[in-house]
Amino acid sequence: MSVKLIAVDMDGTFLDDVKQYNRPRFLAQYARMKEQGIRFAVASGNQYYQLYSFFPEIAQEIAFVADNGAWVVCEGDDMFNGEFTVQQYNTVVDHLLTLPDIEIIACGKQWGYILKSYHPSFKLLAARYYHRLKEVDSFTGIDDVFFKFALNLPDDILAETMIALGESLEGIVVPVTSGHGSIDLIIPGLHKANGLRIVQERWGIEDHEVVTFGDGGNDIEMLTQAGYGFAMQNAPENIRALARYQAGHNNHQAVLDVIDKVLNREAPFN
């Protein structure tokens, strides 16, 4: 069975814990991928601008499924934008602002927005994931297209908050864990697998021809949709249990190890 698309999550998967990857090794692999007709996609909860910065050499050739699937850019073409209505956006913001211990990033197409009043440590954390970050006095009245909300909160209330938000905002957002102690509130149905489906239609690629890698709750759909879904060794047990295949640790270039197997047509790709 041939592989025609490799799609990777970034944090905790393709990137190591200091947000780096072995660029020379991957670019050599990518050259071989092109020779074999294999496409490459980045599928992440992160902002498009940040994802682009990791692949400047090949950004016009690959696909970006950004903001958990709400924004899809393929070969430089802006293909798809999900969007909250103004009413939905305001409903979510009004509810979130009533919750203590939660810091919010409102994720727009132009910027990620955070409040000026937030603690400097959170602003530094947010800047690691959002290359375009703007501080605002209020979340209301911002002129942008909004894709999702990213929430920062203590680990010990994460599970109960996920459930409560799912109930309070049912039909407007779906809460998913994003792999680094935080929650993303996404537009229902606009997950990474949906974004990859858009890319696959453009490139004429079937699900059974796709290899995906992930480590978090926001990767579940693409891990189960793909013919070859690989959960990382560092992923939570429930994510590993859902995936058909297992990869090694994100700090040990495990994704690149599997890509070598794809290119060399080793098991399970032979």
Go through the domains of the chain in sequence order and give each one's CATH number.
Answer: 5-81+190-263 (3.40.50.1000), 86-186 (3.30.1240.10)
The reply to whether 78 belongs to the active site is no
Q: Which of 9, 184, 215, 219 is catalytic?
A: 9
Q: Does the structure show a pLDDT above 80 at 147?
A: yes
In angstroms, the CA 207 to CA 226 distance is 5
Task: Provide the pLDDT for residue 270.
Answer: 87
**Percentage of the chain lying above the pLDDT 70 cut:** 99
In angstroms, the CA 221 to CA 13 distance is 16
The model's pLDDT over 153-209, given as tens digits with 9 standing for 90+, comes to 998 999 999 999 999 999 999 999 876 568 999 999 999 999 999 999 999 999 999
Span between the terminal Cα atoms of the chain, in Å? 7
Task: Provide the pLDDT for residue 261.
Answer: 98
What 8-state DSSP symbol labels residue 5? Answer: E
The model's pLDDT over 71-94, given as tens digits with 9 standing for 90+, comes to 999 999 999 999 999 999 999 999
Number of H helices, E strands in the chain: 9, 14
Task: Provide the pLDDT for residue 177.
Answer: 85
Q: What is the mean pLDDT of the chain?
A: 95
Per the CB < 8 A criterion, the answer to whether 227 and 209 are in contact is yes
Residues comprising the chain, all counted: 270
Task: Provide the pLDDT for residue 181.
Answer: 63
Q: Establish whether the linkage from the previous residue to 154 is cis, with ω within 30° of 0.
A: no
Q: Does the structure show a pLDDT above 90 at 95?
A: yes
The pLDDT of 142-151, averaged and rounded, is 96
pLDDT bracket for residue 104 (50, 70, 90): very high
Q: Token digits for 266?
A: 């080793």
In angstroms, the CA 94 to CA 82 distance is 21
Alpha helices in 36-140 (DSSP H): 48-54, 86-96, 120-129
